[in-house]
Amino acid sequence: MMYEDNSATKPTPVQDIHGDGRWMSLHERFVSEAKEREADVIFIGDSIIQQLQQNDVWNRYFEPLHSLNFGIGGDQTQHVLWRVQNGEMDGNSVRIVVLLVGTNNHENTADEICDALATIVKEIHARQPEAHVLVVEIPPRGQQPNVVRDKLQAVNRLMRDRKIDNLDRRFQTICVDWNLFIDQKTGEISHKDMYDYLHFTTAGYEKLFEPIAEEIQCILGEFGPR
């Protein structure tokens, strides 16, 4: 697939429409952190990853594991791809990369988003060949059932079945149980889990990331101490 055929796979920095350079400043800080800190785990993605660092779930589960958080609010797959290609994975060797992005790709189809996620995984492995890449399925969004949810479900189904060349040993999709967040009778998402029906409360983060923390612990146990 050619980049020009799919905007989700075309590496692109975010346009500085506000004029304050914040997105590029964050990227440059992440590049420095990747080089200066000896992290075992890097989380990269959009606001769901970014806000995790401000939550007690991060402090309890991931801070002790020498983790770095490279989340930027509003990022789409093409923005994360650009960041990966421009230094955020070029630092010290890491053991695990956790990727969660795609909910903001409003203009792209499920197939295009899936292709973009696969492209990001390949680019991460090109720079961190020994790292395990955990692709977290995209959580549901919107209080009521909606077409965006339908598309995100399709992305998740595609990623579960995706075979990325011969990298399967170090790539896996982390399934997200949507039933944890959606009332099975009404189809509604509770504000107790997602305060704005997109971003998570502490209770929501606990449901989403506790299984991921367990998987990370298992993988790190296979590596043994540095």
Catalytically active residues are 47, 196, 199
| Alpha-carbon distances of 124 from 97, 151, 204, rounded to whole Å | 8, 25, 28
**Pair 57, 209: CB distance under 8 Å:** yes
> To which residue do tokens 């995209």 refer?
138
Tokens, residue 119:
């492209």
C-alpha span between 110 and 225 (Å, rounded) = 39
Please state the φ and ψ torsions of residue 12, each to the nearest 5 degrees: -145, 130
